Chain A
Amino acid sequence: MSSESDASVLRRSIDQPDCFALLFDRHFAEVHRYLRRRLGDELAAELTAETFVQAFRSRRRFAGGEASVRAWLFGIAANLVRMNHRAEERRLRAYARAATGLSGYEPAIAVEDRLDAEALGPALAVALAELSPALREVLVLHAWAEFSHEEIAEALGCSSAAVRTRLSRARGRLAAGLGASVTTEMEER
């Protein structure tokens, strides 16, 4: 049962709606973590729920065959994030402003990550906030959801070539946005 593919579970859920629960179990944590990084606790909780509800309601239209249900779910999540891109930008800017306060947190994250976040987090967050929603989407799907070019293309409904172009453009703009001081930081590593 547990080895059944996502696509097969999804097809079965058309006649047996309860089966959709299995897909929720498999993918909730990853989708929620992705949305929480982008939108914070409250909106992430709301939109993770919405992602699965939308997925459930549109499961008949999923024409992916054996294509990635995971990419499909992230595609729905990405659409919802786009509707809230200003909230995301506010969150990133707020993170940048508050980043100095992170030093007081319990070290629930690796010390190395924490030091990086404190040193570069604010500048990165601001640079990320200043990217267009479309470019930011591709970049974080790659860096945070660890999607391949092909998976991103599937999630966003575009070609792999378009993903490569957007990714390259996003990285270029992000690097430019980080500015001279941060570039120095990067070069010193």
Chain B
Amino acid sequence: MNELDGLLGRLGNALDDGLEAAALRAANQARTRLMDAIHVESPNTAGRQRLGSRRRGGNGRWSGLLVIGLSVAVVLVVIAFALRVGGHHASSSAAVPTVLPFGSSLNPSGPTGVIASSVRLETVVPDPEGSGPAWGIKTYRVTGDMTCFQVGREQSGRIGAVGAYGSFGDDGRFHPFTYSNVGFGTCVPNDAHQHAFVNIAYANAPASASGEPCPTFPSGLPPHLPARVKQQLTNESHAADCEPRNQRLVAFGLLGPDATSVTYHTAHGTATTRTHGPDGAYLIVEPVDPAICGTQCDYSGGGAGTAMRLPIGLIAKITYRGAPTCYGPPLTRSLLTLRRFNNCRDIGYVAPSHPRVTEADVASPVHVQPMPARYYCIKPNRLPIPCDGPVPKGYFRLTDQGPQLMVYISWIAREPVTNVNDSTYSIQLTNPPRCGGSQGNSTHSLIRAGTRVTRDVEVSSRCAGTYQGTVAYEPSLGPAGEAGTALPEPGAAGTYLVGRFSIVVR
């Protein structure tokens, strides 16, 4: 068995490739967050840091931290000053909000701070099995004009997960989330009146509130699945906290300032809960019951609702102040029936004002540059590159792709993207008619006006003919799009054509 330990050690060494550079980045990130934590707990530390820095003199190990410490101290002084001014002039409400550290986001353009005064525990509901702490939903505004909300177990006003049902080694403890860990929640862009709109439902949430929703199937695996797929799905859902008895149906959302109540189906009929807070928050936690949402419970990918579309079979109706009651879609497979139930969307939503643009404002020539190669290599945040020869340091060679031709598409972005949740540039590519199909991609990054943007598309070198493409600028015009990912996709969008291009494959 020592042989096995040796092999594991060598696997570990192999996984250490690139460790030094990664450690430098991670150390900076960790120092910043730790310093924030120290200051949140003990704001007077800043003064001691200054004294300490003189005393320590040439000790450079924490010099970066001290610089951050001083910066935070300056911010705190500014905040304190602003609050004092507010106190003397009660009519002035322009105090600088205190911003708490959000923690790092996996999305580099994501939120960086939490507006302290906006943090609200909206509501708590008991666990339907009477097991463990209550469930809660907490909302908070974050930098970048977004609202985040956490959903999970609640204890002393904090949202988190419990060490039970196979999670956290069944340690019986409460594990609170940090602001950057939203549990089953998400972050969505605000509307023009600083309200957020979103609905999410998980019929397969682990009762511990830890981790992702379970990839399990309360109503059993569909019978037509191949045995290999069934085995794979069974293996993936093996974790103890994902056993069917350890799951809950958890549905929640922000329905806007005008919503007053939500009526939903339960195993025994219907129940009504009122909404809470300025965003119309609601939270429903029920035992898993396929009779409520049928096959819609089978969210194989971890599951989520979409934007303001209500979970099928769960929500019976929503009442509003000054607007007609709307009715949620029933449990049905009939698309025609479902299409009649879109009228709950967007009540109270006020679209943010975007600068008026025309296609003439965004028009740009689109350049096409084929990059023929047998193999391509990829690296995070970089364009794929041809690499038939040696693989450049830091790149991975793609070896499992079919015969593809990589093509660079570039254009001048005349309108900026200042918030990835709010606008984007998209590329659409239609395959030659004899092959059929199309593909699309978005920029997903912040872009300064006037910069040249380059993105890659892949075409099949087995499908000869002309590929027709467009580049478009798409500001968001509606509530956030698909939820359940780290950050939402841009919502319903108006499309402004930047330019067209074509790729000919012979």
Contact = CB atoms under 8 A, between A and B. Distances in A.
A167 B19 CA distance: 27
Contacts of A156: 169
Interface in A122-154: 124-125, 128, 130, 132-134, 139-140, 142-144
B38 A18 contact: yes
Contacts of B238: 132
Contacts of A29: 23
Nearest to B25: A45
A157 B49 CA distance: 35
Given A17-B38, A20-B38, A21-B65, A186 B18 contact: no
Contacts of A46: 29, 103-104, 106, 180
Nearest to B69: A18
A83 B210 contact: yes
Contacts of B240: 132
B14 A25 contact: no
B211 A116 contact: no
Q: In terms of DSSP, what is the predominant structure of the interface of chain A?
A: helix
A81 to B, nearest CB: 11
Nearest to B34: A52
A186 B175 CA distance: 41
A175 B5 CA distance: 11
Nearest to B3: A186
Nearest to A38: B15
Contacts of B168: 79, 82-83
A56 B17 contact: no
B391 A101 contact: yes
Contact of B4 (A20, A45, A48, A171): A171
Contacts of A102: 14, 17
A101 B396 contact: yes
Contacts of A17: 38, 41-42, 45
A42 B381 CA distance: 13
A119 to B, nearest CB: 10
A139 B396 CA distance: 28
B444 interface: no
A109 interface: yes
Q: Which 9 A-B pairs have the closest CB atoms?
A: A104-B391, A117-B14, A45-B26, A143-B8, A49-B30, A49-B33, A116-B10, A101-B397, A113-B13
Given A42-B106, A46-B180, 12 more contacts: A16-B48, A18-B48, A20-B34, A25-B62, A49-B103, A83-B211, A85-B211, A97-B400, A102-B17, A108-B17, A130-B235, A175-B4
9 contacts: A17-B45, A44-B26, A46-B104, A46-B180, A53-B103, A104-B377, A116-B10, A132-B238, A134-B169
